[in-house]
Chain A
Amino acid sequence: MIPYLAKRLLTGLLTLLAASIIVFSVLEVLPGDPARIMLGMNASPEALAALRMEMGIDQPVLARYLDWVAGLATGDFGRSYTYSTPVIDLIAERVAVSLPLALLALALSTLIALPVGVYAASRRGTLSDTLTMGLAQVGVAIPNFWFAMLLVYVFAVGLRLVPAGGFPGWDQGILQGLAALLLPAVSLALPQAAILARVTRSAMLEVLGEDYIRTARAKGLPRRAVLWRHALRNALIPVLTIMGLQFAFLLAGTIIIENVFYLPGLGRLVFQAISQRDLIVVEGVVMLLVATVIAVNMLVDVCYAIADPRLRTAR
């Protein structure tokens, strides 16, 4: 396990390096001049040149890349062109929204999906199985932003139960912050929960067909005990895989939801930074997200090993 993890760490770092080259060169070809965007239509050429120098984008490409990578290695993400504050501060502010949102959504989705999936699997072929899985099918098919739009109109505009959007900041109180994240988390979580429930069910069904389930039944354990004590843990591997993927998606793939709820999250930071050509911010966030995906994958691997002792030694 340890040498395996060491190897994973090494490939992870190589992946990051490759990612940094890709991100940097992709953004290099991005048309548009950040200085021009800052100063607008009437800016004089001198003003533009002065600003470019201030931003440091008058340097040659390679020098800028090496500078940037060296900075990354020491935790310095550079300074934002537009905000002229350290990129790391910008990211930190946004992560304070995106991370809790992703975690909340993941928690909601897991809390809904696991029991539903196990229940449906244990009732395979019955009406309640067909109904819950039919609902899950519909859930998978709903675009989350459409769902979010509907939620806003019902719960925020109609019933005025929660804010329609925006984020007050955690300093306004945990409860307020959670209230602001509730609808976005629900709209992110439900389609994910539908997927996870389906995965859980099919993983459970597969496990329930295994020989050791029969062994457990032959011991005299009733169905329910077999389901929870023997089947669930074995079914966790595919479920964990999907959860890992979903977490990565939730952290990065929420631009649309962040737009619908005008949450100051990572997705919107990047979206805005791309349109303002604040490339250094884009680069920083993308690298952070890539690193997160790699870390989550490793974490999932560790979870595999916790769930399945075979993987502790096999690797």
Chain B
Amino acid sequence: MSLLEIENLSLDIGGTPILKDISLSIGRGEVMGLVGESGSGKSMTALAVMGLLPHAARARGSIMFDGIDLVAAPEAAMCRLRGDDLGMVFQEPMTALNPVKTIGEQVAEGIRWHTGANRADAETRARAMLHRVGLPEAQFPLTRYPHELSGGQRQRVVIAIACALKPKLLIADEPTTALDVVLQAQILKLLKSLVAEDGMSLLLISHDLAVVADMAERITIMRHGEVMEAGNTKQTLSQRAHPYTRQLAEASTHVPHRPQSPGQSKPAPLLQVKEVVRDYPVRARRLFTRPAPFRAVDHVSFELPAGRSMALVGRSGCGKSTLARMILALDRPTAGSIRFQGEALEDKSEDALRPHRRNMQVVFQDPYGSFNPRHKVERLVAEPLHLLDRRPSPAERRESVAEALSQVGLSPADMEKYPHEFSGGQRQRISIARAIITRPKLIVADEPVSALDVSIRAQVLDLFADLNARLGVAYLFITHDLTVARAITDEVMVMHDGRIVERGPTARVLHHPETVPARALIDAAPDLERALQRQGAA
């Protein structure tokens, strides 16, 4: 008999149906992957199991866990199960821990609550558990507060809390989505070993097929609150019997078609970065001693030829976004020079920058945050027209906006709408339309697709490739995601601790990394094909 048996689970929140007749089972000691894009209902399924649904939610059907129906169980019974037999790890490690309690208290709390152990015993067990998740007491005493730990370390604490009492079922809801690839690999490894050692069952929820393919024996694919397909991981993902499964799998390995990079001859450099340094002051912790500044960018030099597409890859916090902001002249370097079209930017006034800004635009990561929600699309897309020396008439303005919108595959009629009326992918298209309206020579794109679902990401990448070919615009992609680099760049630079450690043609760097940081990034990157091969070998 399986440990968890969900049968015909339906759920609605305030009358809106969220889950429709979900059925799913997990055996003892089994790892089940639950995959779906946003809005597929995978997180709600997890919360339903935990009994932590929002107030207005109504569930029907049954969730049998170890012989108990969780849908019907009273709150007191659920409290006994949660943290003891059921553990859960959440997506956002930065906010999942109570900031005012030490990590020791937070791990020990569940132990004391369920076992009635005294403080000392609970702390001993907490200490042991933290050691197991890779936080040995020597470096991470129980008295540490969450804010003193990094994101990856915090996620380890959350895992320690969830696994402290060796639950029968561990639910991990996108446990690595907020972390960079290297940390992701480490956390996944940790989860794998804990599950194996303690014989726990694991329900791993992810939007990333590659992650699941690497971890799970069986997989369930959800969409719009319904189960599309379920079965053995390797089989399901290799055969791709269900059209949606196929769509997902293909999208996650999608490489846009690009005409051969324009001319092998070296065009003139569009952007030249020389010995750029950016320091940030650090707040004094002690009176009278001024701490050394934090160096975010450390003597970086490179050139970007016109019309080329280049990736700047690195782990979070390596300084790549700071560098991008300096290139965009939104921030000034502490030392060094940035030349665009042959002219230095770093000492120009805002007025003198105008002609350069016209030729250099930006696309941001967050398609939600990059628009003023109170403006219509027309005004949003037309914003850079402000840079033109001659103000266009309203009619000309509308014409330009219409043209830009059609170039990104939207209808000119969309300019009358507000941004919230669009989906995430469409919004990223609007942001690209805004970036190309002044016909720039360079677009700096800061993680332009990492917030998008896989199928939409593929479409947006296609659009980037297409614009590169048609308009000859050069790209600088800032990303931690190697699939993006692989898909549409000619060259890759790997950044680590403020320095560029490796640089070369994309294929060469991705297949034969020469430096340790580059290799770490590439090894850690989830890859569906490789994962399936490994699954086959196992």
**Contacts from A to B (Cβ < 8 Å):** 2-3, 6, 125, 210-212, 214-223, 225, 229-230, 233-234, 307-310, 313-315
Contacts and interface: CB of A to CB of B under 8 A. Distances in A.
Nearest to B94: A211
Contact of B161 (A211, A219, A230): A219
B84 interface: yes
B189 interface: no
Interface residues of B, number: 39
Given A212-B99, A307-B100, 19 more contacts: A6-B287, A210-B95, A212-B96, A212-B97, A215-B106, A215-B161, A218-B88, A219-B82, A219-B109, A219-B161, A220-B80, A220-B81, A220-B84, A220-B110, A221-B110, A223-B75, A233-B100, A308-B100, A309-B99
Nearest to B287: A3
A218 B83 contact: yes
A62 B291 CA distance: 43
A242 to B, nearest CB: 19
Contacts of B50: 218
B100 A215 contact: no
Contacts of B80: 220
11 contacts: A215-B96, A215-B98, A215-B106, A220-B83, A220-B84, A220-B114, A222-B75, A229-B109, A307-B100, A309-B99, A314-B147
Interface string B215-235: 000000000000000000000
Contacts of A233: 100
Given A212-B96, A220-B82, A221-B79, A310 B145 contact: yes
B465 interface: no
Interface centre among A215, A233, A314 (most CB of B within 10 A): A215
B287 A309 contact: no
B99 A308 contact: yes
Contacts of B284: 3
Given A215-B90, A220-B80, A230 B101 contact: yes
Contacts of B287: 2-3, 6
Interface of B: 50, 52, 55, 75-76, 79-84, 86-88, 90, 92, 95-101, 106, 109-110, 113-114, 145, 147-148, 158, 161-162, 283-287
Contacts of B76: 222
Nearest to B51: A217
Given A2-B287, A309-B145, A214 B100 contact: no
A125 B97 CA distance: 27
Contacts of B145: 309-310
B190 to A, nearest CB: 18
Given A218-B88, A220-B80, A313-B285, A230 B98 contact: yes
A215 B155 CA distance: 12
Contact of A220 (B79, B92, B148, B158): B79
A3 B286 contact: yes
Contacts of B88: 218
Contact of A211 (B75, B96, B110): B96
Contacts of B96: 211-212, 214-215
Contacts of A3: 284-287
Nearest to A225: B113
Nearest to A1: B285
A151 B259 CA distance: 85
Interface centre among B81, B83, B97 (most CB of A within 10 A): B83
Nearest to B109: A219
Given A211-B92, A315-B283, A218 B99 contact: no
Contacts of B161: 215, 218-219
Ranked nearest first, the 5 interchain pairs of A and B with the lowest CB-CB distance are A220-B83, A219-B110, A219-B83, A220-B82, A211-B95
Contact of B113 (A125, A219, A230, A307): A219
B52 A218 contact: yes
Contacts of A2: 286-287
Given A221-B109, A222-B75, A216 B98 contact: yes
A220 B148 CA distance: 26
B99 A234 contact: yes
A217 B52 CA distance: 8
Contacts of B110: 219-221
Contacts of A222: 75-76, 79
B82 A218 contact: yes
Nearest to A212: B98
Interface centre among B84, B98, B285 (most CB of A within 10 A): B98
Nearest to B110: A219
A315 B283 CA distance: 7
A315 B394 CA distance: 50
Contacts of B147: 309-310, 313-314
A217 B284 CA distance: 38
Nearest to A218: B88
Contacts of B158: 215
Contacts of A310: 99, 145, 147
A144 to B, nearest CB: 34
A223 B55 CA distance: 13
Contacts of A217: 52, 82
Interface centre among A219, A222, A229 (most CB of B within 10 A): A219
A257 B81 CA distance: 56
B162 to A, nearest CB: 7
Given A2-B287, A3-B285, A218 B162 contact: yes
Nearest to B97: A212
A228 to B, nearest CB: 13
Given A220-B79, A222-B76, A315-B283, A215 B97 contact: yes
Contacts of A219: 82-83, 109-110, 113, 161
A307 B113 CA distance: 23
